[in-house]
Amino acid sequence: EINPILHTKLTWVKKDELWGLFDEEKGRLLCKPQFTMATTMSQNASLVKVGNFFGVVNHVNCTYLITPEISKVKKVAPHIIVFKQNEKWGLFNEYGILRLNPEFDSLFMKFPETVVGIKNQKFGLYDLAGKETLPVVYDQFGSISEGLFSIQQNSKYGYATRQGKI
């Protein structure tokens, strides 16, 4: 099988049930067939699987942008993927750029372009670039209504915006 990478001279090729990356322009393999799965994320990076674990490889020289230690991956937005590594959750984009280190008990989309991070039963907010908009200190986040959502810290309640204004 072959899977060309759009707008590049690169192609994923499958031989004996393993995927490798072939450079059509140079006429040689960049990555020898070693991956049980290879899914193109962008012109620059692909999600690969080695054994039971996922990683992200760079198309330029087939080095790992994220080493294959990821046990779960889930696409949560058009260009954003959450992943589980060593029982903690993190976030990377389609270029394989790590946006949030795997240090969260849970990560999920709460609002458009906003990610909720949970550590030690405390909640915080991040944008898709990994920038913290609300620190991980809140006991609870509620539903959004009219641009605001309820928050609870200790026994006090209030409202916040997705941009982190209390």
User: 93-120, pLDDT tens digit by residue?
Assistant: 999 999 999 999 999 887 778 899 999 9
pLDDT score for 137: 97
pLDDT truncated to tens, each residue of the chain (166 aa)?
999 999 999 999 999 999 999 999 999 999 999 999 999 999 999 999 999 999 999 999 999 999 999 999 998 888 899 999 999 999 999 999 999 999 999 998 877 788 999 999 999 999 999 999 999 999 998 887 888 889 999 999 999 988 889 9
Tell the burial category of 21 from Cβ atoms under 10 Å away from its Cβ (0-12, 13-18, 19+).
buried
Structure-block tokens of residue 55: 């990683």
CB 119 within 8 A of CB 103: yes
CB 74 within 8 A of CB 88: no
pLDDT score for 78: 81
Count Cβ atoms below 10 Å from residue 43 Cβ, excluding itself: 14
Q: How far apart (Å, rounded) are the C-alpha atoms in residues 145 and 130?
A: 24
> What residue spans of the chain are helical by DSSP H?
none
